[in-house]
């Protein structure tokens, strides 16, 4: 390789490294704000473990009433194996109602202020009169 090509290659390497350094400096500058955002998120959108069951029960019943859905069973299970960085309360819900009401209920759970993720969603026929049921699994994330 001649000296000109080697010089060009070295300049390209220096330029690539400078781009990486500039990007890392941007991340470093944004890091304190990201930490503050995470603190705000956990303070405002995740209940503490102590409040988990009452928060979940209140939210589910309030949204069911507002959606016109009848809850038949609601089960809670604290996931002792999941700890990083948030803990998890697993919720199993069985409900009945008209299709539109069941959709409204599930959408309200997904978009609630508390950090809840719907992970399972199944419609099932209920009885002979055309009633519809919903089995829904969700996880409410908690601060330790």
Q: Quick check: 1 pLDDT over 80? A: no
Same domain, 22 and 54: no
Tokens 């350094």 correspond to what residue?
21
Same domain, 41 and 63: no
Same domain, 73 and 136: yes
Dump strand ranges (E) for the chain. 70-79, 87-97, 116-126, 131-142
Same domain, 59 and 104: yes
Same domain, 56 and 121: yes
Biggest alpha carbon–alpha carbon distance for the chain: 85
Same domain, 20 and 88: no
Q: Quick check: 136 pLDDT over 90? A: yes
pTM of the model: 0.66
Q: Which of 44-48, 93-97, 128-132 has the lowest mean pLDDT?
A: 44-48
Which is nearest to 61 in space by CA: 89, 88, 93, 90? Answer: 93
pLDDT digits (tens, 9 = 90+) for 66-113: 999 999 999 999 877 766 777 888 999 999 999 899 999 999 998 988
Instruction: Name the residue range of residue 94's domain.
Output: 49-142
Same domain, 23 and 80: no
């Amino acid at each position: 390789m001649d000296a000109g090509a080697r010089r060009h290659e070295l300049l390209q390497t220096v330029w690539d490294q400078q781009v990486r350094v500039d990007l890392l400096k941007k991340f470093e500058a944004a890091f304190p704000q990201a930490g503050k955002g995470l603190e705000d998120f956990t303070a405002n959108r995740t209940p503490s473990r102590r409040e988990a069951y009452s928060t979940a029960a209140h939210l589910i019943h309030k949204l069911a009433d507002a959606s016109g859905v009848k809850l038949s069973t609601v089960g809670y299970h604290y996931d002792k194996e999941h700890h990083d960085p948030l803990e998890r309360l697993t919720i199993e819900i069985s409900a009945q109602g008209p299709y539109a009401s069941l959709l409204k209920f599930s959408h309200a759970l997904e978009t609630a202020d508390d950090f809840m993720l719907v992970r399972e969603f199944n419609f099932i026929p209920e009885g002979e009169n055309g009633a519809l049921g919903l089995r829904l699994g969700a996880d409410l994330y908690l601060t330790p």
